[in-house]
C-alpha cells in the first residue's frame, strides 16, 4: 500500500477593490480558501487601506470565520499589494494565507513603552524572551512596526544581535499622518503603536531580495577620515573635492540626477573585492559643509569602509530590481524545483509605485515576469526592513521581498 503524500507548503493571495468592507474581505477570503483548499491555515496576513479604518475591529472576525488561521496579523497601508496588483490612493484589501506543514508559527508583540527593548549590552536571552523563540531554532522574523512609536532601528539591531542567523523582513505601517492613526492587527487585537510580528521556524526557508533602486557612479573609494556620520576624506582627499570631481566627470543625465538625488553606497562585506548590485547599503547624502570640505550622510561611518556614490530615478530603480530578481530566479532555477518559492511578501516604499515609474503595478509585474506566478501580497511602507551584507537595516525607497519555500526537498 502506498503511503499518502506528505502535505505540502501552500500559499494563496487575493486582492479586492470593493468599496464595501464586507464585500472586499469576503471576496478575498473566498478566493484564498478556494486556492488553499480544505484544511488548516497556519498564518494569514491582511493589509488594508485607511478607507476602512472604522471597520478594522471587524477584520479578524470576518477572516477567522472563513479561514480560522492559527496566527493572524497585518496592518493598515497607504497602498496595498496583492495578486500582482498594486492599489494606491483607493480602497482595497489584500489577504495572503499559507498552510505550512512542519513549521512552528509564533506571533509576538513588542510594545512601544519605555524600557520595552532589552539592553544591547545585556545577554541575548532577554531578546529571546521578548520574541518567545529560542535563537537555536533560527526563526525567520516578519516585522510590522508603527513609525510614530516603535524604535525600529534599535529593535532590528537587537534582533540581529540575538538571532544572528535569522532573516528579518517587514515594514513600517503607513496611511496614518500622526500618532495613533495607524493600525496593527494581531489576532483579534487592533493596536495603534509598537511592533507586531511572527516567528517562523522548522521546515521553512526565507530568501530575501532588497532592491534599493540605485545605480553606482564614480569609483569605489575608501573612507580615510570620518566622525560618526560626517565624512571628511575619501582616499585621503577631502570628500567635497571628490564630489566636485565626480560632478565634473558626469554626463548630462547623471549630472542632473546627482544634483537632485545623490546617495552613498557603503560596502557591507569587507571581503567583497568587487561589490555589485545588492552589495551596497544605500544611504542619503544629508548635506555639505564647504568650510570643512565634508559631507553628512545617513549612516555611521568608520575608517576603512569602502563606498561609492549612487543616483536614483525610475529607470535606474527598474534596472536595479530587474537585475536582482533575475539573479534570484537563476539561483532558484539552478537549485531545482525544491528551491522555487511557494509564496512572497512584498514591502515597498510609498515613494515607489506609479509616482516613480509612471505606470501601475510595476514591481509586482516584474516579480511575475522574472520569478513566476507565485502567490504574493504586501503593502506600501513608511520604511522597509531587510538584510544587506548579512545585517538588517531600515531602508527608504526600497522594495524588500521575502520568498518562502520548504527547507526539505519534496
Note the pLDDT tens digit of each residue in 222-244.
Answer: 999 999 999 999 999 999 999 99
Where does residue 150 rank: exposed (0-12), middle (13-18), buried (19+ CB within 10 A)?
A: buried
Residue holding cell 566627470?
Answer: 249
**Which one, of 75, 22, 7, 6, lies nearest residue 44 by Cα?**
75
Q: List the 140-145 sheet strands across, edge first.
A: 103-110, 195-202, 140-145, 168-172, 384-388, 391-395
pTM: 0.92
**Mean pLDDT, the chain, as a whole number?**
94
Instruction: Give per-residue pLDDT as tens, 257-283.
Output: 999 889 999 998 888 888 887 889 999
Instruction: Give per-residue pLDDT as tens, 64-115.
Output: 999 999 999 999 999 999 999 999 999 999 999 999 999 999 999 999 988 8
Distance CA 281, CA 302 (A): 14
Q: How many CB atoms lie within 10 A of CB 188?
A: 11
- At 46 the pLDDT is 98
Residue holding cell 521556524?
Answer: 201
Sign (positive or negative) of CA dihedral 220, 157, 325, 139: positive
Q: Which three cell numbers stand for residue 286?
A: 544629508
CA 195 distance to own-chain centroid: 14
Contact assessment for residue 226 and residue 232, using Cβ atoms and an 8 Å cutoff? yes
Distance CA 169, CA 208 (A): 8
Q: Mention every residue, 6+ apart, whose C-beta is less than 8 A from residue 321.
A: 211, 213, 363, 366, 399
Distance CA 81, CA 156 (A): 24
Q: Where are the beta strands (DSSP E) in 212-255?
A: 215-216, 221-227, 230-234, 237-238
Q: Mention every residue, 6+ apart, whose C-beta is less than 8 A from residue 71.
A: 42, 43, 44, 105, 106, 107, 187, 198
Instruction: Give per-residue pLDDT as tens, 133-191.
Output: 999 999 999 999 999 999 999 999 999 999 999 999 999 999 999 999 999 999 999 99
Split at pLDDT 50, 70, 90, the class of 336 is low
Interval 22-32 mean pLDDT:
98
Contact assessment for residue 257 and residue 304, using Cβ atoms and an 8 Å cutoff? no
Contact assessment for residue 105 and residue 43, using Cβ atoms and an 8 Å cutoff? yes
Contact assessment for residue 148 and residue 192, using Cβ atoms and an 8 Å cutoff? no
Split at pLDDT 50, 70, 90, the class of 121 is confident
1 has pLDDT over 90: no
Interval 312-323 mean pLDDT:
91
Q: Mention every residue, 6+ apart, whose C-beta is less than 8 A from residue 170.
A: 141, 142, 143, 144, 145, 197, 347, 384, 385, 400
Interhelix angle 239-249/252-260, nearest 10 degrees: 140
Cα distances (Å, whole numbers) of residue 393 to 7, 36, 203, 206, 400: 35, 33, 26, 17, 11
4 has pLDDT over 70: no
Domains of the chain: 10-211+319-405 (no CATH), 215-311 (2.40.30)
347 has pLDDT over 90: yes
Interval 58-62 mean pLDDT:
98
Split at pLDDT 50, 70, 90, the class of 335 is low
Helix (H/G/I), strand (E/B), else coil: 204: coil
- Strand pairing class (230-234; 294-297): antiparallel
Q: Which of 36-50, 249-263, 371-385 is the least confident region?
A: 249-263
Split at pLDDT 50, 70, 90, the class of 5 is low
- At 409 the pLDDT is 72
Amino acid at each position: 500500500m502506498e503511503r499518502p503524500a506528505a502535505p505540502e507548503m501552500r500559499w494563496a493571495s487575493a486582492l479586492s477593490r470593493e468599496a464595501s468592507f464586507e464585500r472586499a474581505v469576503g471576496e478575498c477570503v473566498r478566493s484564498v480558501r478556494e486556492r488553499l483548499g480544505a484544511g488548516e491555515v497556519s498564518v494569514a496576513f491582511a493589509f488594508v487601506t485607511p478607507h476602512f479604518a472604522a471597520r478594522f475591529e471587524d477584520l479578524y472576525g470576518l477572516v477567522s470565520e472563513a479561514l480560522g488561521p492559527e496566527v493572524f496579523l497585518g496592518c493598515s497601508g497607504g497602498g496595498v499589494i496583492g495578486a500582482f496588483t498594486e492599489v494606491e490612493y483607493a480602497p482595497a484589501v489584500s489577504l495572503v494565507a499559507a498552510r505550512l506543514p512542519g513549521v512552528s508559527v509564533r506571533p509576538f508583540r513588542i510594545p512601544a513603552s519605555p524600557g520595552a527593548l532589552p539592553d544591547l549590552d545585556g545577554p541575548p536571552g532577554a531578546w529571546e524572551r521578548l520574541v518567545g523563540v529560542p535563537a537555536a531554532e533560527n526563526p525567520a522574523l516578519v516585522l510590522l512596526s508603527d513609525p510614530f512609536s516603535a524604535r525600529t532601528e534599535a529593535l532590528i539591531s537587537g534582533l540581529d544581535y540575538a538571532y544572528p542567523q535569522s532573516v528579518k523582513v517587514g515594514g513600517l505601517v503607513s496611511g496614518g499622518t500622526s500618532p495613533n492613526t495607524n493600525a496593527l492587527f494581531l489576532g483579534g487585537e487592533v493596536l495603534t503603536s509598537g511592533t507586531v510580528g511572527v516567528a517562523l521556524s522548522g521546515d521553512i526557508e526565507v530568501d530575501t531580495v532588497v532592491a534599493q533602486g540605485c545605480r553606482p557612479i564614480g569609483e569605489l573609494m575608501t573612507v580615510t577620515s570620518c566622525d560618526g556620520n560626517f565624512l571628511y576624506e575619501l582616499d585621503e582627499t577631502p570628500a567635497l573635492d571628490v564630489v566636485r570631481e565626480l560632478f565634473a566627470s558626469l554626463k548630462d543625465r547623471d549630472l542632473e540626477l546627482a544634483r537632485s538625488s545623490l546617495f552613498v553606497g557603503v560596502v557591507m562585506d569587507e571581503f567583497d573585492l568587487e561589490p555589485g548590485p545588492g552589495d551596497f547599503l544605500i544611504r542619503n547624502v544629508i548635506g555639505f559643509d564647504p568650510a570643512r570640505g565634508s559631507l553628512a550622510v545617513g549612516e555611521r561611518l568608520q575608517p576603512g569602509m569602502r563606498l561609492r556614490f549612487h543616483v536614483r530615478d525610475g529607470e535606474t530603480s527598474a534596472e536595479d530590481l530587474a537585475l536582482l530578481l533575475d539573479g534570484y530566479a537563476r539561483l532558484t532555477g539552478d537549485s531545482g524545483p525544491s528551491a522555487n518559492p511557494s509564496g512572497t511578501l512584498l514591502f515597498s516604499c510609498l515613494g515607489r509605485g506609479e509616482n516613480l515609474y509612471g505606470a501601475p503595478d510595476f514591481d509586482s509585474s516584474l516579480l511575475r515576469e522574472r520569478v513566476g506566478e507565485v502567490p504574493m501580497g504586501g503593502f506600501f511602507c513608511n520604511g522597509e526592513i531587510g538584510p544587506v551584507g548579512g545585517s538588517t537595516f531600515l531602508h527608504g525607497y526600497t522594495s524588500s521581498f521575502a520568498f518562502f519555500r520548504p527547507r526539505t526537498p519534496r
